[in-house]
Amino acid sequence: MQKFQPEPWLRGTHSEVPATPRAVLHALELAKEDLVFWCGELSDQELSGTPSGLPSIAFHLRHIARSLDRLLTYAEGHPLNDRQLQALISEANTHFTHAEIFSELSAALTESSARILKLAETPDALNQPRTVGRKNLPTTVAGLLVHIADHTQRHVGQTITTAKIIVAQRG
């Protein structure tokens, strides 16, 4: 397998967006490209598989999609709602089809990018204080955005590793 274009951060896109949100947008674009590249051809069964006891790819994809919503809700200055809390609890349920999983992921990445762009429109938004979780741990909008990029890419890496194991076991 080989990719044929530079990573999103090297394509000169989003130049009108401040550096931190731009980097997060690029991280989400790279996540989508990598996940489609490495996992796009896996079967429903392979997406739900747990080779060597690793979390399934389906779990990681659903977690990425749903954690984006939660973290951006905090960045926007709101607490989580009941729907988001129920979604968190149900992330481990991975008995969905390839189409359902990738549809949820794609929608979450598209919506998240729009929300990040909206946050970037507000002057000095990145320095605004925010809190996270039930303990109201302190951070800023920028802190949350950086964590979104880090957290998403961490799960993408785990997903790629799991996909490579699954493909190797086919053979």
Position 2 scores a pLDDT of: 54
When divided into structural domains, the chain yields a total of 1
Q: How far apart are alpha carbons 119 and 19 in whole angstroms?
A: 13
DSSP structure class, residue 5: S
Whether residue 158 lies inside any domain: the answer is yes
From 125, 130, 119, select the one nearest 79 (Cα to Cα): 130
Q: How far apart are alpha carbons 140 and 71 in whole angstroms?
A: 11
Whether residue 85 lies inside any domain: the answer is yes
CB atoms within 10 A of CB 33: 16
Position 74 scores a pLDDT of: 97
Instruction: For the chain, list residues with pLDDT below 70.
Output: 1-3, 94
Whether residue 13 lies inside any domain: the answer is no
Whether residue 129 lies inside any domain: the answer is yes
Domain that holds residue 75: 53-170
Query: What does the chain come to in residues?
Result: 171
Whether residue 3 lies inside any domain: the answer is no
Average pLDDT, the chain: 94
Whether residue 126 lies inside any domain: the answer is yes
Q: How far apart are alpha carbons 125 and 123 in whole angstroms?
A: 5
Whether residue 57 lies inside any domain: the answer is yes
Whether residue 131 lies inside any domain: the answer is yes
Position 104 scores a pLDDT of: 95
Residue with tokens 């051809």: 41
